[in-house]
A and B are shown apart, each in its own frame.
Chain A
Amino acid sequence: AQKVTQAQTEISVVEKEDVTLDCVYETRDTTYYLFWYKQPPSGELVFLIRRNSFDEQNEISGRYSWNFQKSTSSFNFTITASQVVDSAVYFCALMTTSGTYKYIFGTGTRLKVLA
């Protein structure tokens, strides 16, 4: 079975704090892709990052960084020095290359950054 778990339903931080959003996935496939999307209050899902299962290098993009660890089946997302504009719901997703290439989404983590 394929599954994505985002155990944190809601997180509140004060501006400038660092915050990590957890994502744990389950799949038996050896080739798969992991994604993070941001859903601001406007509603549209914005693509943030994609990683494939053969690339475990961590990635940094400005204040955003991602830690992919196959050993723990985790793909965590850290925001450094959070800002109010980071307030949104963040979704982690999994796509495997077997079957129909459907995305399996987690239930999302709502991040509130307080000024």
Chain B
Amino acid sequence: SQTIHQWPATLVQPVGSPLSLECTVEGTSNPNLYWYRQAAGRGLQLLFYSVGIGQISSEVPQNLSASRPQDRQFILSSKKLLLSDSGFYLCAFRGPTSTDTQYFGPGTRLTVL
């Protein structure tokens, strides 16, 4: 079966510190991968998506970046966190077929102080 993992589950970081969130998928090959952010009480904002290794598309210019070093691994990074980076970060995957459904990971709750 297909599963998606995210870690850490929660993170408290000071302003200006680096960030690395990891997402891995099991049970599928060549998935489409997504990073979303959800501010408190708000909707979902698509940050990045990837259709293959090394292929990253950015939706919102900001101090975040994403990388896909392996087929089923998606990493969200920042060199220097801002207060506005606080939020709930969700990774999602969809199978390679165009009609596949998108499934979400458990999320990482990031607080920047």
List residues of chain A with CB under 8 Å of any chain B CB. Answer: 33, 35, 37, 42-47, 50, 52, 91, 93, 95, 97, 100-103, 105-108
Contact = CB atoms under 8 A, between A and B. Distances in A.
A91 B88 contact: no
Contacts of A44: 90, 104-107
Interface residues of B, number: 22
Given A33-B99, A43-B88, A44-B107, A107 B94 contact: no
Contact of A105 (B44, B101, B106): B44
A26 to B, nearest CB: 16
A20 B74 CA distance: 36
A91 B90 CA distance: 14
Interface of B: 32, 42-44, 46, 49, 51, 57, 88, 90, 92, 94, 98-99, 101-107, 109
Contacts of A37: 104
B43 A50 contact: no
A45 B90 contact: yes
Most buried by A among B44, B46, B51, B98: B44
A71 B44 CA distance: 27
